[in-house]
Amino acid sequence: MHSTGRRLVGGACLLAVIAAAAIMVSAAPAAAPTGGTIALFATIGNSSTGKIVVAGAIGDWGTAVSIDKNGKPDENGNYVKVALRKGSFEIDSTALNKATASPRPQVASDKTCSISTSGSARVTLFNGTGLYKGITGTLKMTLSFAGVGRRYPSGPNKGQCLHSDTEPPLAMLGSVTGHGTVQFTP
């Protein structure tokens, strides 16, 4: 066999071994977390649902939904349902919501109708399912966001910034970060 043919066969064998290893690794059950430090990163926007990634003692990703105390989706809820690939848990964000209820803007401009602000508080994790069953812990969470608001289209205030709870901003983007320690009890 020529050297080119041997390289092709050798390359095909190597790919087959890598593919088999990848299948075995992905088929292996996930080890139960033992607890430790985590870092949480989530996005928020104009809805009650955002993307979330958790690193450290938990390495997983999924969605975070703002809910009320009964578990129903609520954009103004004081709880968050975190649904990850290997399980779920809830966050009591009452303290964070209180800390960010009347934010003081760090950047604000009436010329551009834009604002940026943030706030921090401690939150607790509970009600785990799947791999996160028995989760407890506390994280220091920071909510940061920026937005660009609307302007009055007509009338005596035409062109001025329209600050209203009933008119959504033209654009808003936010992030939530958290760092702390979690434990898992059987």
Query: Which pLDDT score is estimated for 46?
Result: 64
- What confidence score (pLDDT) does residue 103 get? 74
Give the confidence band of 29 by pLDDT, cuts at 50, 70, 90. low
For residue 108, the model assigns a pLDDT of: 84
What does pTM read for this prediction?
A: 0.75
What is residue 86's predicted lDDT score, i.e. its pLDDT? 97
Q: Where does the pLDDT of residue 163 fall: very low under 50, low under 70, confident under 90, or very high at 90 and above?
A: confident
State yes or no: pLDDT of 144 exceeds 90.
yes
The domain ranges of the chain are 1-30, 31-184
d(CA 41, CA 140) in angstroms, rounded, equals 12
Q: How confident is the model at residue 164 (pLDDT cuts 50, 70, 90)?
A: confident
Specify whether the CB–CB gap between 60 and 40 falls below 8 A: no
For residue 173, give both structure tokens: 């983007």
Query: Chain-wide mean pLDDT for the chain?
Result: 83
Look at residue 30 in the predicted model and tell me its pLDDT: 63
- Whether the pLDDT of residue 17 is over 70: the answer is no
> Which of 30-34, 97-101, 133-137, 152-156 is the least confident region?
30-34
The predicted pLDDT at position 39 comes to 98
**Residue written as tokens 């910034």?**
161
| CA-closest candidate to residue 123, choices 32, 33, 40, 35 | 40
Task: Give yes or no for residue 157 having a pLDDT over 90.
Answer: yes
Element (H, E) at 73: none
Of the pLDDT bands very low, low, confident and very high (cuts 50, 70, 90), residue 36 is very high
Length reported for the chain: 186
Tell me the pLDDT tens digit for each residue of 58-115.
Answer: 999 999 999 999 999 998 899 999 999 999 999 999 999 999 888 777 778 889 999 8
| Element of type H or E holding 30 | none
Q: Report the half-sphere exposure of 128 (CA within 13 A, side-chain side).
A: 24
Find the angle CA(85)-CA(90)-CA(91) to the nearest 5 degrees.
Answer: 125
Q: Which residue is it, tokens 């992905």? A: 26
Asked if pLDDT for residue 6 goes beyond 70, the answer is: no
**pLDDT confidence of residue 45:** 67
- Cα 89 from chain centroid? 13
